[in-house]
Chain A
Amino acid sequence: MSAFAAWWNSLPIGLTDALWTIAVGATASVGCALLGCYLVLRRLSLLGDAISHAILPGLVLGLLWTGTRNPLPMLLGAMAMGMATAFLTELFERMGRVPADSSMGVVFTSLFAAGVILINLFASQIDMDPGCVLYGLIEFVVFDTVELGGLPVPRALLTMSGMLALVLVFIALLWKELKLCSFDPALASAMGLSAGLVHYLLMAMVATATVASFEAVGSILVIAMLIVPGATAHLLTDRLGWMMALAAAVALISAVAGYLGAHVWNTSVAGMMAVAAGVQFALAALLAPRYGVLGRMLHNLSVGLRIAREDMLTLLWRRGERGREPALAGGAIRELTGDGIVFRLALGGLRRRGLVRVDDGQVALTANGARAAEEIIHAHRLWEVYMADELERRPEAVHEAAHPMEHFLPPELARQIDEHLNHPRTDPHGSRIPRQGRIG
């Protein structure tokens, strides 16, 4: 340990300061991020916002009470105010039938105003700058250290580590309860779990984490640490465990990137941490595989292309069924799909798969293409029969309804319907239902 301490102390002071600052930022934001996951899931994000504003009078009262910056009374005062916010919001909702958001807005802004007034009134007795409440003082944590095993550990790091440990213990002890209350509070109540108690415990923890972190990052940026990592992780996964791990990772990256960014542009570390978290959220919102904007766009495009390809195949196949050449000029097919880009992409896809060939601008089905078309027509006509026979739809009404279905009927289901209907040979319009290997 002392060898490590000696090595650590031999490092350049700039580097150790940077590492200590990052460590403080990382512990604070990981602790907040873990709790934030529950806030995001339970749609309580703004209660985090409200609590972080409303603790101001609690901090001031705690300060006034002892007259020193002893953290314990401040923590208690802030926690009391945090709980009061949650409680008053609910009280106004119930007693006054005020909508939840208005109720919250009334409570936390009023408490914040009271805090500002207290600071103004007792400015001479307390050493508290409203500015550092808002922005935090993470740049200065390395100047306030305690000796620990030969290392000059920032006092804030001890506070944050304590907070993080408390959060971890809380989550580990109440993992099942918190999970249940996050996803199904009604079931939780039915199982005899007091959802209200869990709610207030969570609020107490949020207040604790907020109070512990506000010293580092300030009361507004703590909202970024509470909500943004959880929301980012929520875009990436559906599993709570993974969500927490990802949120912690986002928080870590924010702390490191925030520090480096602030170093490069010579600006506020806390602000830069919030921006770094915001950038990660933006990236996730755009690029997340399932829930991202781009991911969804790609998915929609691929479905649209598949439908266009299948429509082209069946168009050609139906021509063949009516005894005409199963080939068409490209322009005629293009009218079917409308959009030029979709047409070109879909046609390219069909050629690559060897389902059509193009000679002199004429698009013609290949043997493989005919087989693929038959499968689709098979699904289409089976579904028509099913709707006419089982759902008693008029035969005129089934074609349009079967049209979208032909793209989404899985082969297994098609087989079952076929068996259920006793292998019908014709559809309600009298057209033959193609079987594998036979055209028309």
Chain B
Amino acid sequence: MNWLAYNTLIVLAGTSLLGIVAGVLGSYMVLRRRALLGDALSHAAYPGLGLAFLITGQRHFGGLLTGAFATALIGSWTVGAIRRHTRVKEDAAIGIVLSVFFGLGVVVSRIVQNTTTTGSKAGLDSFIFGKSSGMVAADVRAILLVGVVVLAATLLLAKEFRLLAFDPDFGRVQGWPILLLDIIMMSLVCVTTIVGLPAVGVVLMAALLIIPGAAARFWTDRLGRMLWLAGLFGGVAGACGTLASAWAPSNVGAGPVIILTAAGCFLFSMLAAPRRGAVARMLRHVALARRVAMQNLLRTLYELSEPAWPDPAPLRPGRRAAARGWVEPNSDGWRLTGAGWQRAAEVTRAHRLWEIFLIEEAQVAPTLVDRDAEQVEHVLEPATVRHLEQRLAELGLVPQGLGAAPRRHAALEELEEAPS
């Protein structure tokens, strides 16, 4: 068990840092719906490695990175150019750049293998799948340097990047140099991708850019928090993946384990996140459906305002209403209790406010007006609610707690037929 060995520590530091940086930058890519551009970039970096090798004739670290950066940037520009100047859509543009540049990379690297001595060819292949166990201090230093630059840039340009992510058109109108900002961001992504290639490889680098950001998006609607979380997810995935692969009995590379750890974070976030998570959303949906059913029941009872009603008990909202003491059986059916009247009048009032709002203010077809009426006060501004109440009074539709049979149909239908 050598999990605290110097080599492992090096790799651990490198992959965690890479995860943090990729997570932060990737969040912007996810928000800008450009997640797969990272995929194209990392593939487009491949020919640059081979070309740099052909030109310099050796496996010089800086030279390789420069070459990869150059072709990755050209690839990113090509995607934009294809999208802007031809009828080809962005998805096809990404696919074209990704595959053609990668094809070029295969061609170049085969030429490299044929022209140089055998000792050096292994270097290029490892960029495809990554070889984190082969990480050396120089790789980690490169990641550290890039990490500092990227994080400093995201801090300094926080406001500008926010604008770029959410409303670039507004930014352009306001006179921000959106194109320049875009180029800066893409360059940062390119640099991050390239220092990550030796560690996790072409395909998995794309994953590291996408997954932490996509996972962080579930937990918050605030950009700052999302960046923190994405960095955290990326870092944790990097660290856990490295440790797991170091502990694993057989020879499993860290790259894929890192990605699967990140994917685990994503799945957990998708299921468990409090507001946007699938479970929370399902529960909310059920709760809403119950509340609407209950409100409909009460309102129907109120509006019928007859001494005898159809038996609501077989319906589940009916049983729950009875359990809460809002309805009670009488000699030939069911009736609202005192508390039930109160509640039903509230629901009816809210419902009518909503109906009037939708018919008069929002120009919605009257058939569409049914929804969770209780939301009316949360959705609308107080002034609007007061105005609606006034309209309700003018139309004589204010439900009167007890007694007074509401005249719903006549007045509302009149209103519906005479749109203002």
A, B assembled together: yes
A97 touches B210 (CB 8 A): no
Binding site for B on A (CB under 8 A): 40, 43-46, 48-49, 53, 92, 95-99, 101-106, 109-110, 112-114, 116-117, 120-121, 123, 130-131, 134-135, 218, 220-221, 223-224, 226-228, 230-231, 234-235, 262, 265-268, 270-275, 277-278, 281, 285, 291-293, 296
**Residue-wise interface mask of B (24-40) relative to A, using a CB-CB cutoff of 8 A (1 in contact, 0 not):** 00000010011110110
The CA-CA distance from A296 to B86 in the complex, in Å, is 9
The CA-CA distance from A220 to B47 in the complex, in Å, is 14
A273 touches B218 (CB 8 A): no
Considering the complex, give the chain B residue whose CB is closest to the CB of A111. Answer: B263
A101 touches B34 (CB 8 A): yes
The CA-CA distance from A98 to B267 in the complex, in Å, is 12
Nearest CB in chain B: distance from A274 CB, A = 3
| A271 in complex: contacting residue of B104, B213, B276, B278, CB < 8 Å | B104
A281 touches B96 (CB 8 A): yes
Nearest CB in chain A: distance from B103 CB, A = 3
Scan residues 195-210 of chain B and give those whose CB is less than 8 A from a CB of chain A. Answer: 203-204, 206-207, 210
Nearest CB in chain A: distance from B385 CB, A = 30
* Given known A267-B107, A275-B104, A275-B107, contact A105–B99 (CB-CB < 8 A): no
Residues of chain B within 8 A of A223, CB atoms compared: 95, 98-99
**Residue-wise interface mask of B (102-114) relative to A, using a CB-CB cutoff of 8 A (1 in contact, 0 not):** 1111111011001
Q: B245-253, B288-296, B363-371: which one contacts chain A?
A: B245-253
A46 touches B214 (CB 8 A): no
Scan residues 262-305 of chain B and give those whose CB is less than 8 A from a CB of chain A. Answer: 263, 266, 270, 276-278
Provide 8 A-B residue pairs closer than 8 Å at the C-beta atoms, listed in order of the A residue: A101-B33, A106-B266, A112-B203, A117-B257, A224-B102, A271-B107, A274-B106, A285-B82
B85 touches A293 (CB 8 A): yes
The CA-CA distance from A218 to B54 in the complex, in Å, is 24
- Tell me, yes or no, whether B43 is within 8 Å of chain A by CB: yes
Considering the complex, give the chain B residue whose CB is closest to the CB of A224. Answer: B99
Q: Give the number of residues in B that approach A within 8 Å (Cβ atoms).
A: 60
- Chain B contact residues: helix, strand, loop or mixed: helix
Residues of chain A within 8 A of B214, CB atoms compared: 98, 102-103, 105-106
A131 touches B106 (CB 8 A): no
A227 touches B278 (CB 8 A): no
User: 3 shortest A-B CB distances, which residue pairs?
Assistant: A274-B103, A278-B100, A271-B106
- Tell me, yes or no, whether B172 is within 8 Å of chain A by CB: no
The CA-CA distance from A235 to B100 in the complex, in Å, is 17
Nearest CB in chain B: distance from A149 CB, A = 34
Residues of chain A within 8 A of B33, CB atoms compared: 99, 101-102
B278 touches A268 (CB 8 A): no
B110 touches A96 (CB 8 A): no
A266 touches B211 (CB 8 A): no
B276 touches A97 (CB 8 A): yes
Q: Other than the known A109-B206, A114-B256, A221-B103, what 19 A-B pairs have Cβ atoms closer than 8 Å? A: A43-B89, A44-B91, A45-B94, A46-B94, A92-B270, A97-B276, A109-B263, A110-B207, A110-B260, A113-B204, A113-B256, A117-B260, A228-B96, A228-B100, A274-B99, A278-B103, A281-B96, A291-B86, A296-B85
| B263 in complex: contacting residue of A113, A121, A275, A293, CB < 8 Å | A113
A227 touches B106 (CB 8 A): no
Scan residues 180-220 of chain B and give those whose CB is less than 8 A from a CB of chain A. Answer: 203-204, 206-207, 210-211, 213-214, 217-218
* Given known A98-B214, A105-B39, A291-B87, contact A268–B107 (CB-CB < 8 A): yes
